[in-house]
Amino acid sequence: MKHPFQCIDWSAIAPTTHPGTTGEALWQTLQLPGLRIRIVTYSPGYLADHWCQKGHIVHCLEGSFVSEMDNGEAFVLHQGMTYVVSDDLSNHRSSTESGVKLLIVDGDFLK
């Protein structure tokens, strides 16, 4: 996939609400062919309602969160940290005590 140069005005993209097991996630999503780019904000006390198998590049913009693996490992990411995982390699879910704002990129290139 090739994508021409474009600027993203996140203030023009309305958020959608996605409830977690606890708390909620607000997603501002730009969907392009084979590529999804999101600003995601987890409320304080958020815990994802599922184990995710999808690949992502996740960059922590503000706050901190825990990325838990289904094998029991857990990684704390703070502002300025990033993780990357490909599809179907590590089942993971996110949680945060105090809230967090993330930039998340995923798409066909992570298969």
Q: Residue 102 CB: number of other CB atoms within 10 A?
A: 23
5 lies in some domain? no
Q: Is 7 among the domain residues?
A: no
How many other CB atoms are there within 10 angstroms of residue 35's CB atom? Answer: 14
Classify residue 58: in a domain, yes or no: yes
Residue 7 parent element (H or E): none
pTM of the model: 0.94
CATH number at residue 53: 2.60.120.10
Q: How many separate domains does the chain show?
A: 1
pLDDT digits (tens, 9 = 90+) for 20-54: 999 999 999 999 999 999 999 999 999 999 999 99
**Inside any domain, residue 26:** yes
pLDDT digit string, tens, across residues 66-92? 999 999 999 999 999 999 999 988 999
* Number of residues assigned to the chain: 111
Question: In this structure, which amino acid lies at residue 28?
Answer: Q
* Antiparallel, parallel or unpaired: β 35-42 and 82-85: unpaired
Exposed/middle/buried for residue 7 (C-beta within 10 Å: 0-12, 13-18, 19+): exposed
For residue 65, what are the domain limits?
Answer: 17-107
